[in-house]
Amino acid sequence: MTQAKAGDTVRIHYTGTLDDGEVFDSSEGGEPLTFTLGEGEVIAGFDTAVTGMAAGDKKTVTIPAAEAYGEPQDEMVLQVGRDQLPPGLDPEDGDSLVMQTGDGMELPVMVREVTDEYVVLDANHPLAGEALTFEIELVEIAQRPGGLIIPGR
């Protein structure tokens, strides 16, 4: 039976849970997730977990934080003066916002603390520091063509 390898496009169904059993993401009831192994389209540990599976295989794997979204980084937490916020913005703890960097890139942030003087914004991924458990079913493998053959050469 063919096993999934780097360069293969795979279609999988999955359910992702945290250590406490909370489901944070799932393809259940929808289309399978489609991605190419080894292309960095999914977290590293997920890519590794699917590699070697055959169509129809199911497995449960726990991916440590280092192979998922990493550990939270202190430098990704910013304290911003209230006077630096756009006029009319009145953030509350737990709000999700989008911050624009100096070079025009958009960065999703979570509001962690609000005072009269400042707001603490956290740009770490919401799942940073979490081990993630996935139930995975490989639905289909579509190999990439090996090489280009040009007739007459």
Domain 9-70+127-142: give its CATH code: 3.10.50.40
Question: Model confidence at 24, in pLDDT bands (50, 70, 90)?
Answer: very high
Fold of domain 74-122? Thrombin, subunit H (2.40.10)
Q: What is the pLDDT of residue 100?
A: 84
Each residue of 38-87: pLDDT tens digit? Answer: 999 999 999 999 999 999 999 999 999 999 999 999 999 999 999 998 88
pLDDT, mean of residues 120-147 = 88
Residues 110, 132: Cα–Cα separation, whole Å: 20
| Domain assignments of the chain as residue spans, ordered by start | 9-70+127-142, 74-122
> Is the pLDDT score of 140 beyond 90?
yes
Q: SS3 of 26, please?
A: strand
Counted residue by residue, the chain has a size of 153
Residue 27 in tokens? 């393809």
What pTM value is reported for the model?
0.79
Residue 82 φ then ψ, to 5°? -60, -30
Residues 81, 75: Cα–Cα separation, whole Å: 17
Q: What is the pLDDT of residue 151?
A: 46
Query: At 33, which helix (H) or strand (E)?
Result: strand 33-36
Question: Model confidence at 143, in pLDDT bands (50, 70, 90)?
Answer: low
Question: Model confidence at 144, in pLDDT bands (50, 70, 90)?
Answer: low
Ramachandran bin of 56, using left for φ above 0, alpha for ψ from -120 to 50, beta for the remaining angles: left
Each residue of 97-129: pLDDT tens digit? Answer: 998 888 888 989 999 999 999 999 999 999 999
Adjacent-strand bridge partners of 37: none
Query: At 49, which helix (H) or strand (E)?
Result: helix 44-50
Return all residues near 39 (Cβ < 8 A) that are at least 6 apart: none
